[in-house]
Structure 1
Amino acid sequence: MANAASGMAIDDACKMKFLELKAKRNYRFIVFKIHDQQVVVEELGGPGKSYKDFTAALPADECRYAVFNFDFTTNENCQKSKIFFIAWAPDALRVRSKMVCASSKDRFKRESDGIQLELQATDPSEMSFDIIKARSC
């Protein structure tokens, strides 16, 4: 079903792959793109991929939605993980593209139950590994 505000639909594969990341930890990250008025899976990063691999998968001139499963150890030496949602809209984007991305973001997040933290980034520095780490604690 399309989003009334943006006309954007969410492909069923997006939901399925997100559930696999959340429940089975099959992926470290998933990158989604808007294609033909629909949000679709663009790239799946396996469990062995790094945060650097993830950021390299985001284009410098197009918006993307992404989820990243961040594993970390607490001060009490407990293994934890948190699922980040990142709305990537580079500064170089045209205003119309940014508006389409922004208008579909909330629906996409609602369809992806289990997101624990959100970041909106227009520049790589706004989603550095240090920021991810600090937001997880």
Structure 2
Amino acid sequence: MNFFLLRIILSSLRSMANAASGMAVHDDCKLKFLELKAKRTYRFIIFKIEEKQKQVIVEKLGEPAQSYEDFTASLPADECRYAIYDFDFVTEENVQKSRIFFIAWSPDTSRVRSKMIYASSKDRFKRELDGIQVELQATDPTEMGLDVIRSRAA
């Protein structure tokens, strides 16, 4: 099969996959996630769905020294987002560990349309990010408090 035909087939398959969820995933999302996972370049990544462009993009990157409070303060109070948080902790055996959390932030105060778009695109988006260890769904800050994160990390 020639290269040109193969590119057309792959492009069609990608379009069909995107149509199934309605949202494409910008390559930068995967790249930044890989950098967080492999190099620990970031503490967190916040992703936003650009409805006009029908794709998920990186909205904000958290520096490695930033805290969990910095992360939660970066999430909008009344808009949905996806987020990745690299949580460091020490086990009861005094072993340093890390867990990569995927958080689907969908506050009660966000628009119904937005909640539906984020909910219907979540699984497709998560499949693009290989290495997520824990998933959380949060509709208010208490559902993703540091105590919740600690208990889910263990």
For the aligned pair, the TM-score class normalised by the smaller chain equals over 0.9
Task: Establish whether residue 15 from structure 1 lines up as the match of residue 30 from structure 2.
Answer: yes
Q: Say whether the 8 Å CA contact 2:21–2:124 is kept in structure 1.
A: no
- Per the alignment, residue 100 of structure 2 pairs with 83
What are the residue-to-residue correspondences of 1:33-112 with 2, within 5 Å?
33-35=48-50, 36-112=53-129
Inter-partner Cα distance in structure 2 for 1:75 and 1:120: 26
Residue 4 of structure 1 aligns to a residue whose secondary structure is: helix
1:95 Cα deviation from its structure 2 partner:
1.4
Structure 1 or 2, whichever has the larger Rg, is: 2
Unaligned regions of 5+ residues in structure 2, if any?
Answer: 1-13
Give secondary structure in 2 for the equivalent of 1:47: coil
Aligned-pair CA distance for 1:71: 0.2
Aligned amino acid, residue 121 of structure 2: S
Deviations 1:65-103 (A, max 9, x none): 000000000011110000000000110112111110001
Tell me the distance in 1 between the aligned counterparts of 2:59 and 2:107: 17
SS of 1:126's equivalent in the other structure is: helix
* Structure 1 residue 37, shift from structure 2 partner: 1.0
Query: 1:5–1:103: 8 Å Cα contact kept in structure 2?
Result: no
If asked which structure has higher relative contact order (CA below 8 Å, sep 6+), I would say: 1
Which of the residues 47, 56, 62 maps onto 1:32? Answer: 47
Q: Which amino acid counterpart does residue 59 of structure 1 have in structure 2?
A: P
* Residues paired across the two proteins, number: 137
- String of CA shifts for 1:31-58, please: whole Å, max 9, x gaps: 0001121100000001000000000010
What amino acid maps onto 1:126 in structure 2? E
Alignment-mate amino acid for residue 63 of structure 1: C
Contact 2:26 2:57 in 1 (8 A): yes
User: CA–CA distance in 1 between the matches of 2:113 and 2:20?
Assistant: 14
**Larger relative helix fraction:** 2
Where does residue 116 of structure 1 map in the other structure?
133
List runs of 5+ in structure 1 lacking aligned partners.
Answer: none
Deviations 1:3-33 (A, max 9, x none): 3334200000000000000000000000000
